[in-house]
């Protein structure tokens, strides 16, 4: 019976049926096990490097930002920040002295751009985060 069904649908059809009827597991909502989540203990803004404080001031002012990517949607693919719908987080470049590219430092904020709910600083290109005390 299964052989006749496979012959009729073909391999592609069978795969489609399996994908539609089998539950998908592993749709994790937790941080990946080998990566630490963002520190929920808030770091005072004054403890961040001067360029991070300057970027934070630009975020609250609504710009202007020095990089085209500043203010773009951040996907949180690593799931190190609290889970929210796509579009909740935005990323901003923090200038790294002596580096001609955007470098590795960023601030990622969630919520409304000028009045964020929470912001996080990363100095290692999204490998770890420190929550910024607002």
Please tell me the predicted confidence (pLDDT) of residue 62. 97
Please tell me the predicted confidence (pLDDT) of residue 1. 53
Please tell me the predicted confidence (pLDDT) of residue 41. 80
Query: Annotated catalytic residue: which of 40, 67, 84, 125?
Result: 125
Number of C-beta neighbours around residue 19 at 10 A: 9
Please tell me the predicted confidence (pLDDT) of residue 7. 54
Please tell me the predicted confidence (pLDDT) of residue 25. 43
Q: Tokens for 126? A: 């999204």
Q: Is 91 a catalytic residue?
A: yes
Buried b (16+ CB within 10 A) or exposed e, 33-53: eeeeebeeeebeeeebeeebb
Q: Is 125 a catalytic residue?
A: yes
Report the distance separating Cα 19 and Cα 107, nearest Å.
38
Report, at the CATH architecture level, how domain 36-132 is classified. Roll (3.10)
What are the pLDDT digits (tens) for 45-104?
999 999 999 999 999 999 999 999 999 999 999 999 999 999 999 999 999 999 999 999
Please tell me the predicted confidence (pLDDT) of residue 134. 82
For residue 125, give every residue at least 6 positions away whose Cβ sits within 8 Å of its Cβ, in sequence order, or none: 104, 105, 106
What are the pLDDT digits (tens) for 20-51?
444 444 444 554 455 567 767 899 999 999 99
């Amino acid at each position: 019976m299964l052989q006749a069904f496979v012959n009729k649908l073909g391999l592609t059809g069978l795969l489609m049926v399996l994908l539609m009827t089998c539950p998908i597991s592993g749709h994790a909502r937790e941080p990946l096990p080998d990566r630490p989540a963002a520190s929920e203990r808030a770091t005072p803004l004054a403890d961040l490097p001067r360029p991070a404080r300057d970027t934070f001031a630009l975020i609250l002012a609504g710009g202007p930002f020095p990089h085209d990517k500043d203010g773009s949607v951040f996907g949180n693919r690593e799931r190190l920040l609290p889970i929210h719908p796509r579009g909740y987080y935005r990323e901003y470049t923090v200038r790294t002295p002596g580096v001609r590219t955007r470098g590795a430092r960023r601030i990622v904020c969630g919520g409304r751009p000028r009045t964020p709910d929470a912001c996080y600083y990363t100095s290692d290109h999204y490998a770890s985060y420190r929550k910024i005390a607002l």
